[in-house]
Amino acid sequence: MNPYEPILQEVASGLLDFPEIKPNFSNDAFFDATIIFQSVFVDKVFDNQNYDNMPMKYREEMIQKAGEDLRKLIHTYTNLDTHQLANDYGSKTTTQKH
């Protein structure tokens, strides 16, 4: 088991305890959650690529495309640019709610 799994389970359980409350996350928190999602997602993509015995060239292309698709999805539904979030991370403007 990954050492972060208990922390992720605790956060997920806490969020599920109060699903009716809008949590009001900052842009930094959104970026943190995106990094966590990407890490778990890429781990599972890698498992699938191993299962398929995919050549490294195609693995890299697939992950690159997945990152581009995730960035587009986030921008489409939140109007947030993940590259800008990374650049602004920790600044006063990113700790405010969007």
- pLDDT score of 20: 84
- pLDDT score of 95: 54
Q: Which of these, 44, 54, 40, 38, lies nearest to 86 by C-alpha position?
A: 38
Q: What is the per-residue pLDDT across 64-83, written as a single tens digit (0 to 9) for each?
A: 999 999 999 999 999 999 99
Q: Return the residue matching tokens 């590259």.
A: 83
39 and 4 Cβ atoms separated by less than 8 Å? no
CA gap 73, 52 in Å, rounded: 26
CA gap 51, 96 in Å, rounded: 42
- pLDDT score of 67: 96
What backbone phi and psi angles, to 5 degrees, belong to 37? -60, -45
Give the predicted TM-score (pTM) of the model. 0.85
- pLDDT score of 18: 87
User: Which ranges of the chain have pLDDT less than 50?
Assistant: none
Q: Torsion angle of alpha carbons 69, 71, 75, 76, nearest 10°?
A: 10
- 20 SS3 class: coil
What backbone phi and psi angles, to 5 degrees, belong to 79? 65, 25
